[in-house]
Structure 1
Amino acid sequence: MSKWNEQAERLRGTLVDFLWDQWIALGVAGRGTKMPPVPFVVDAEALLLATMRFGGREARLVGEVLDWLARNGGLISLQRLKNLQTSSRVGTREGLEELGRFMEAAGHRNWKLLAAWAESVSSPGGQAWVPEGLELRKMSQAPDGSRPEVFLLRLRSLFGVSARPEVIAWLLTHSSGYAAEIARDTGWFSKSVQAILNDLELSGLLESEPVGKRKVYSVNPRNKTFHQQFGGGSRWFSQAPFYLGVRHALEILERLAVTPDASESARSISIRKNLPAMTAAFRLAGMGDDFKGASSLAGADLVASFEGGVERLTKKIARRAFE
């Protein structure tokens, strides 16, 4: 096995453990890993797409996730799932088609349109995701709203499955922000986010300050509706671009693995095919330091920089050391 195969397997294995721990935090039946706890609010839609992309080989993980979805699928935003898939392509067409049919059979009739949507917007690609002959164990639990990781799903239980919970969760985990910034991080359309911000400002829950031609929004510290304990300990992490960055890193490693005898120049060219998109995605996730400066390198220097960046990324996932 080449060092590129070994590096890809380490990254993928660490990522699968990371996916397991997040699902267990949401109520999936399992023991979890011995790694540190998940340090941020779990993004269920980004997690679902990432599990489809990176966890497809793990039949037990997939089975338990489907078990959880059969019970708690009403907490998933199908529109946001589509939005994130459109922007990141982390999920797969086959996986989304199978998921839509599975959820419809499990009694979530509104999921039946997911399969048709995936077929209309995606080209074929990806492996089968729903295991053949799957029998649900029915051991998943409803999310425990007292856990910081579940804060977003708690808000959905309060306000319904829409853009509003994401906007509120973002505001409660940041000091302030612009509408465009909130829209980008939450995966919702800018007009929808702006309308929600306008409503919240009229209610007195938010305050705004003009900065140039834009407004910066923050939770009104004088309003007691969002008291100090509500969302206490919750942290935001932009998970969709993070998984997109990981996808690009794995694609590079897989290409390098099939050409183990290539020259350093050829490897550098192969890395550059995904490098701009990968580094942009990690910057959006607040993790740009791992591959900082790589775009200015070439040849053996770029290969060494990429290899070191993947090692740092793998260690960060293992330690849960996210910004």
Structure 2
Amino acid sequence: MDLTSFSEQLSNRLVGFCWDEWAQMGVMASPKRSSSWTADPEALIVFTLEVARADPRLFDEVLDWMLFNERLLSVRRLRAICTSATDRALVDGAIGWLGWQRPRARLKATADSGSHSLELLFPGGGPVAEADPSFAAVGLLRPPLAPSHKSRAPDLTAPVNLGLRLRAVLGVGIRAEVIRVLLGTQAPWMTAQALAQTSAYAKRNVHEALAGLTDAQVLIAFTVSGEQRYTIDKEIWAALLQCPPGALPHHRDWPQLFSALRAILRWSKARTITDESDYLLASSARQLLDELRPTLSFVGVPQRHTTAEQAFDELERVTGALLTALDVTLYALHP
């Protein structure tokens, strides 16, 4: 595997994907396609904050979108979706920046604002004469950022924005997420555990929301072998949303898909600047795959048992499968 080429191609394709998603959600850009799924705003934000380290303009325009559409976002869920210290630093820097622009209690960063050894937020950028205080507080160095004020409200009738539309109807919280997932899933029913995993809310809180929605006859609950299962009448909801039942946008397990892709992207970028032997690189790739096994299983990407020598091929295959869920292609890098 040409690791440098792999990393660059993966980064470029993910940057393009993020631009297309955000352009459909209100960022000032022209989308090249119309997504058939409904986006998960918080999962997409956490993902983009990493991906856009290769594209500062995308990074800044997403922050501008967050500022304009802040009322539609869950700060608690943003933090819950983070799976690494890097995720948490990026999210806390973004929240801290929002708090500077629009002081509110919920936009208060939780990171330690003590002294840090600063890391470049945009590794490919030039020297930074003055640091943005919100990102410096989490150990990331970038120039001060002023809002561009180019973002607009999302078109709530677009399929990709169904989740935001449900938040406008039901409020920002668990109920809107549960309805979004059940309307888009191809499965005939889901359990509370599966809904908790894909919505990034605690199972106990999801149970409470499901009980309330069932009592209100919004959802249908039934028990099989002692397991409570939930489904929804899509025709009724489609009529409410003025959408043909077969045209409801699809669901993707975005927190898990994006988490796996972030891990692969970070691994590939870190390995392109090391001087490890081919054997150590292959062993590292195999370790990465082992760490991702539960996440890949959840999103339906099975892994093959491989030796260290086969790890690069397997990593490329897994990455291609993840990108297929995004309607993105990673071209083969070697025969």
- Does the pair score TM above 0.5? yes
- In structure 1, the partner of 2:280 is 266
Does structure 1 residue 166 correspond to structure 2 residue 166? no
- In structure 2, the partner of 1:60 is 57
Pairing partner for 1:135 from 146, 151, 164: 146
Q: Deviations over 1:68-92 (max 9, x none)?
A: 111111111011112111xx22853
TM-score of the two chains, using structure 2 as the length reference: 0.81
The letter of the residue matching 1:100 is: I
Aligned mates of 1:254, 1:128 — CA distance in 2? 14
Q: Residue 39 of structure 1 contacts residue 320 of structure 1 at CA under 8 Å; is this kept in 2?
A: no
Does structure 1 residue 99 correspond to structure 2 residue 94? yes
Aligned mates of 2:325, 2:167 — CA distance in 1? 30
Q: Residue 10 of structure 1 contacts residue 314 of structure 1 at CA under 8 Å; is this kept in 2?
A: no
Change (3 A) 1:206 1:76: same
Aligned mates of 2:76, 2:27 — CA distance in 1? 23
Give 3-state SS (helix, strand or coil) of 1:250's partner: helix
- In structure 2, the partner of 1:281 is 295
How many correspondences in the alignment?
305
Aligned mates of 2:327, 2:178 — CA distance in 1? 29
Give 3-state SS (helix, strand or coil) of 1:227's partner: helix
Aligned mates of 2:105, 2:97 — CA distance in 1? 12
Give the deviation of 1:48 after TM superposition: 0.8
Specify which structure has the higher proportion of helix.
1
The letter of the residue matching 1:277 is: E
Aligned mates of 1:90, 1:144 — CA distance in 2? 33
Q: Deviations over 1:50-100 (max 9, x none)?
A: 111121231211121121111111111011112111xx2285343233222
Aligned mates of 1:313, 1:197 — CA distance in 2? 30
Q: Deviations over 1:118-162 (max 9, x none)?
A: 449xx9896447652323221211011100100011111111111
RMSD, aligned CA? 2.9
The letter of the residue matching 1:227 is: A
The letter of the residue matching 2:60 is: G
TM-score of the two chains, using structure 1 as the length reference: 0.83
Aligned mates of 2:264, 2:90 — CA distance in 1? 21
Q: Residue 93 of structure 1 contacts residue 119 of structure 1 at CA under 8 Å; is this kept in 2?
A: no
Aligned mates of 1:9, 1:54 — CA distance in 2? 11
Give 3-state SS (helix, strand or coil) of 2:161's partner: helix
Q: Residue 67 of structure 1 contacts residue 139 of structure 1 at CA under 8 Å; is this kept in 2?
A: yes
Change (3 A) 1:21 1:179: same
Q: Residue 244 of structure 1 contacts residue 278 of structure 1 at CA under 8 Å; is this kept in 2?
A: no
Q: Residue 35 of structure 2 contacts residue 159 of structure 2 at CA under 8 Å; is this kept in 1?
A: no
Give the deviation of 1:209 after TM superposition: 1.7
Give 3-state SS (helix, strand or coil) of 1:210's partner: strand
Change (3 A) 1:254 1:69: closer
- In structure 2, the partner of 1:227 is 239
Q: Deviations over 1:168-200 (max 9, x none)?
A: 111212331111111111111111111111111
- In structure 1, the partner of 2:138 is none
Change (3 A) 1:75 1:204: same
Q: Deviations over 1:197-253 (max 9, x none)?
A: 1111111222222111211111147x9466375564211111111111112222442
- In structure 2, the partner of 1:239 is 254
